[in-house]
């Protein structure tokens, strides 16, 4: 090969080498650029966002009032002074410590000094007192809470010391302060100009781990992390709550992957829960008993004022078979108004079981006769006809109502079923315009003290439903003494007597011990039911990497 030819060949190879190296460099730069966009270690982490379902709109999220605001959503935004934990343990939250006077009438709280509201404004004794003042403006609405009845004075002692004074000792004070509403705290910017939160609030701003970022009534609500949260930040960045009233539609959306999680009581049917569990495609969970599903019989109705009629109704349907059939064995039949895992409630009572012969005998004795050829008992020309009011949106109540209707028909009782919007039920209870109603106790940290107080305190339908009991005055006196007692042994003795009377009188007919259900996609982890029945279940929840 000639020198000229050899040099030309070398030049050509050199040029090709340079071109290849340039191409490789560009490719590496492009690859690095694409890698950053794709989420390598140099890219921003992927947003941790989930979508959950709820059966009704979350409401205005006013921390000081009740329905239509939904408890789980209120608990995402607002926090209490004291938190209720597993096993009934009360721990500091917004209050880092407290001192109770020897006479049980004064509670002095030392507040945390590192807390801010979601809008960045400080949390201190002054804003705590402003919230308490707003709550007490609406005192009559909150009188079912024992603390409200005995709360005499509040005082911001200094910037981070808050004190309450009671008219009488009230042992469940800390438990009442731990409930979701009304003793939680709204920022200054959320208050209306006149300070009266009874009417409305300007915006829902709390100290909690979440803030409301977007909302469209009856469609959705979007919660994002509170950037000023003083505690451990949630693992999730965003939670979207889709409002889906129909249970079957919720299940279909979940199976399509449009929802990550469905939780709560009656959110889906027990059959659907069992099917999703059996499929093996999803994670499922069942809580410990959180309350007792019961029937409340209104003794203002002359028919139900007769103890024999109430006993007949309790013994006139097969509770155990119904509970097993409707809930697929996920709930257990209840013999006591409160399950034994509540404070002061680990008591054995003689169960009032299913016995058609006894039910018929009680009704005969009460003068309600079943004439030949008739299906409904009569007395003085009047039929033994009653109405059962139940929550229109609760699938379990509907199924149980139909079963009870069939069972009572066999003993000559005509039961009419009335599906009522949830918003209307409290009004009908207060007015006493019902015969029988599906009712449940509030759960911890409310009970057992709130249950017995509601039996004594008029205005909410429970006391009125018991008003025809011959021992009502004595029962009320025992309740007052129990709530004020500072002696543990005396308190247990009083609770035993009170709960024994309530179980025997059959104004509240226990049906089953309620459990919460959850179904969620396998990309979620660390789900845990909250210690308190009504708090949100998102603490610690995160997506799998």
**Domain ranges for the chain:** 49-260+521-543, 289-515
Over pLDDT 70: what percentage of the chain?
92
Higher-confidence residue of 59 and 267: namely: 59
Other Cβ atoms within 10 Å of 432 Cβ, number: 14
Mean pLDDT of all residues belonging to the chain:
90
Q: Is the pLDDT of residue 9 over 60?
A: no
Identify the burial level of 189 via C-beta atoms within 10 angstroms of its C-beta, where 0-12 means exposed, 13-18 middle and 19 or more buried.
middle
Q: What is the pLDDT of residue 242?
A: 98
* Of the candidates 180, 187, 198, the residue with the CA atom closest to the CA atom of residue 65: 198
Apex 434 CA angle, 351 and 402, nearest 5: 60
Q: What is the pLDDT of residue 396?
A: 84
Instruction: Give me 27's structure tokens.
Output: 């490719």
Q: What is the pLDDT of residue 42?
A: 54
CA atoms within 13 A on the CB side of 186: 29
Q: What is the pLDDT of residue 36?
A: 43
Q: pLDDT, tens digit, for every residue of 205-250? A: 999 999 999 999 999 999 999 999 999 999 999 999 999 999 899 9
Average pLDDT over residues 502-523: 96
Q: pLDDT, tens digit, for every residue of 37-94? A: 444 455 667 889 999 999 999 999 999 999 899 999 999 999 999 999 987 889 999 9
Q: What is the pLDDT of residue 422?
A: 87
Q: pLDDT, tens digit, for every residue of 350-359? A: 899 999 999 9
Q: At 95, phi and psi to the nearest 5?
A: -95, 125
Taking CB atoms within 8 Å and a gap of at least 24, the contacts of 420-427 are: 420/389, 420/390, 420/391, 420/392, 421/392, 421/393, 422/56, 422/67, 422/391, 422/392, 422/393, 423/67, 423/68, 425/389, 425/391, 426/66, 426/67, 426/460, 426/461
Q: Answer whether CATH 3.40.190.10 is correct for domain 49-260+521-543.
A: yes
Q: pLDDT, tens digit, for every residue of 370-422? A: 999 999 999 999 999 999 999 998 878 999 999 999 999 999 999 999 999 98
Q: What is the pLDDT of residue 154?
A: 98
- Reduced to 3 states (helix: H, G, I; strand: E, B; else coil), residue 147 is helix
Other Cβ atoms within 10 Å of 442 Cβ, number: 17
Q: pLDDT, tens digit, for every residue of 199-210? A: 899 999 999 999
Q: Answer whether CATH 3.40.50.1820 is correct for domain 289-515.
A: no
Higher-confidence residue of 157 and 289: namely: 157
Q: pLDDT, tens digit, for every residue of 446-486? A: 999 999 999 998 888 999 999 999 999 999 999 999 999 98
């Amino acid at each position: 090969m000639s020198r000229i030819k050899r040099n030309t060949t070398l030049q050509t190879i050199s040029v090709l080498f340079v071109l290849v190296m340039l191409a490789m460099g560009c490719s590496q730069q492009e690859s690095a650029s694409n890698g950053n966009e794709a989420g390598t270690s140099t890219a921003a982490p992927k947003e941790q966002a989930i979508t959950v379902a709820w059966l009704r709109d979350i409401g205005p999220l006013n921390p000081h009032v009740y329905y239509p605001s939904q408890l789980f959503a209120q608990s995402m935004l607002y926090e209490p002074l004291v938190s209720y934990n597993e096993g009934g343990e009360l721990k500091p939250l917004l209050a880092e410590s407290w001192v109770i006077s020897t006479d049980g009438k004064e509670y002095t709280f030392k507040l945390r000094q590192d807390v801010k509201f979601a809008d960045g404004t400080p949390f201190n004794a002054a804003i705590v007192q402003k919230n308490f003042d707003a709550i007490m403006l609406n005192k009559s609405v909150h009188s079912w809470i024992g603390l409200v009845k005995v709360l005499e004075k509040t005082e911001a002692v200094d910037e981070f010391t808050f004190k309450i004074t009671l008219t009488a000792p009230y042992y469940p004070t800390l438990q009442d302060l731990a409930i979701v509403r009304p003793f939680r705290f709204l920022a200054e910017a959320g208050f209306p100009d006149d300070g009266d939160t009874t009417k409305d609030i300007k915006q829902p701003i709390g100290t909690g781990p979440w803030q409301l970022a977007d909302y469209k009534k009856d469609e959705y609500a979007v919660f994002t992390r509170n950037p000023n949260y003083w505690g451990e930040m949630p693992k999730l960045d965003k939670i979207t709550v889709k409002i889906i009233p129909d249970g079957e539609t919720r299940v279909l959306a979940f199976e399509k992957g449009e929802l990550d999680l469905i939780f709560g009581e009656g959110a889906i049917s027990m059959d659907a829960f069992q099917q999703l569990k059996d499929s093996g495609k999803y994670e499922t969970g069942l809580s410990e008993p959180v309350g007792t599903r019961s029937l409340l019989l209104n003794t203002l109705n002359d028919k139900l004022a007769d103890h024999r009629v109430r006993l007949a109704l309790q013994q006139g349907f097969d509770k155990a078979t119904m509970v097993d059939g409707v809930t697929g064995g996920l709930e257990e039949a209840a013999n006591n108004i409160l399950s034994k895992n509540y404070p002061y409630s680990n008591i054995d009572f003689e169960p009032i079981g299913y016995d058609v012969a006894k039910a018929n005998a009680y009704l005969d004795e009460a003068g309600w006769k079943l004439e030949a050829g008739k299906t409904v008992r009569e007395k003085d020309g009047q039929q033994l006809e009653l109405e059962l009011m139940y929550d229109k949106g609760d699938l379990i109540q509907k199924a149980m109502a139909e079963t009870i209707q069939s069972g009572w028909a066999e003993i000559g009782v005509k039961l009419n079923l009335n599906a009522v919007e949830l918003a209307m039920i409290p009004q009908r209870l207060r007015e006493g315009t019902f015969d029988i109603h599906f009712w449940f106790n509030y759960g911890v940290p409310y009970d057992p003290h709130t249950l017995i107080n509601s039996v004594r305190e008029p205005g909410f339908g429970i006391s009125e439903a018991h008003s025809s009991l011959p021992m009502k005055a004595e029962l009320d006196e025992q309740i007052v003494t129990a709530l004020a007692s500072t002696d543990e042994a005396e308190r247990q003795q009083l609770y035993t007597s009170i709960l024994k009377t309530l179980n025997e009188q059959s104004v509240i007919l226990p049906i089953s011990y309620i459990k919460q259900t959850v179904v969620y996609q396998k990309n979620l982890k660390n789900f845990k039911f909250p210690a308190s029945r009504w708090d949100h279940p998102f603490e610690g929840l995160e997506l799998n990497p």
